[in-house]
Amino acid sequence: MTSISRTLTRFRPAGSLYIFPAKHLVPTISFSSDARAISSVSEPSSTAPSPSQSADKQRGSRWSRWLLFLPGAITFGLGTWQIFRRQEKIKTLEFRQKRLQKEPLKFKEISPSSESLDSLEFQRAECKGVFDEEKSIYVGPRSRSISGVTENGHYLITPLMPNSGDPESVRSPVLVNRGWVPRSWKEKSLQVSEEEQQPSSKPPVVVQESKKSQWWRFWSRKPKHIEDEAPAITSIEVIGVVRGSEKPSIFVPANDPKSSQWFYVDVPAIAVACGLPENTLYIEDINENVNPSNPYPVPKDVNTLIRSSVMPQDHLNYTLTWYSLSAAVTFMAIKRLKQKKR
């Protein structure tokens, strides 16, 4: 193109104009003008928001404002819930204390079918009978702290059976939680039960009497009459409190009666395992007269029955804590909204 333009200027006379034929003209496209036109068309669509988009933004801003107050509302609700829990705990402890102040019940006059558990729970009871040691059950492990030292052990539950020779004895069996015993007690009982289950390998000993002893027994003028008299069985007096089954948490394993693994007190299941009816009454021994020479089992302290792991004062502290958190979070939310408006 540059060579053609040079030749044309060489042969073109000065002051004259050279007109190219229309067929030699090369049409050119102006990309700049087309790009400007395209951008001018596309810009209004990108900058101007649609009505639906503006409505969505307004809804999102409203939800974000409400979400700022959500933690404050949750903590306020938890504080109010602690107030109701405190009132329920006060009523429960007062109910237990009133029941414990009543006169002890005589279990010889009470049968499981005559009274319901709700009307007897947390009442003192006195009963006499004989412990069936072979049917004892160990529930645990349960820890016990003595002078700052924690020791693991179990609760010992033994059926108290009627004594036919004592008119003051119970009429029906009663499950008695005799108290806390060391872990060695359960290990010894398991060893004894295993030894009893193993058959004896020793042959029976046959004693043969001589002819002289037989002749002397027959011709003796003063025969000795030996009477087998059963020794009198003395009843054991138990002073306790009527209780029900425990409510285990989700972290406590399930009981396994077949392997004698009891992690919590389930009165109907323990009664069935001992060969007793499911509605057998269950009491916890609170006798304070412990023999120093035989300190185990250790009976329960009656004061533990009017105490709880979370006392009413603890619920009040939790209430103040939740309300303080609610006030702090709400104040931060209000301050945040004021900054957005500016």
pLDDT over threshold 50, residue 43: no
Q: Is the pLDDT of residue 178 over 90?
A: yes
Residue 90 in this model has a pLDDT that exceeds 90: yes
Alpha helices in the chain (DSSP H): 2-11, 31-47, 51-68, 70-100, 117-120, 183-197, 211-219, 267-273, 312-341
- Across residues 133-150, what is the average pLDDT? 87
> In the prediction, which pLDDT does 176 show?
95
pLDDT for 293 equals: 76
Mean confidence (pLDDT) of the chain = 77
* pLDDT on residue 155: 95
List, for residues 262-272, the tens digit of each pLDDT value. Answer: 999 999 999 99
- Most confident segment among 106-110, 168-172, 229-233: 168-172
pTM above 0.85, yes or no: no
pLDDT on residue 333: 87
Q: Give the separation between CA 199 and CA 123, rounded to whole angstroms.
A: 46
- Range from 54-68, 169-183, 295-309 carrying the lowest mean pLDDT: 54-68
- What are the residues facing 198 on neighbouring strands? none
pLDDT reported for residue 107: 78
% of the chain at pLDDT higher than 90: 39
At 180, is the secondary structure helix, strand, or coil?
Answer: strand
- Percentage of the chain beyond pLDDT 70 is 66
**How far is residue 241's CA from residue 114's CA, in Å, rounded to a whole number?**
18
pLDDT for the residue numbered 82: 96
> Residue 29: which pLDDT band, with cuts at 50, 70 and 90?
very low
Is the C-alpha dihedral spanning 303, 304, 308, 313 positive or negative? positive
Q: Which residue has the higher pLDDT, 249 or 197?
A: 249
What is the phi/psi pair of residue 173, to 5°?
A: -60, 150
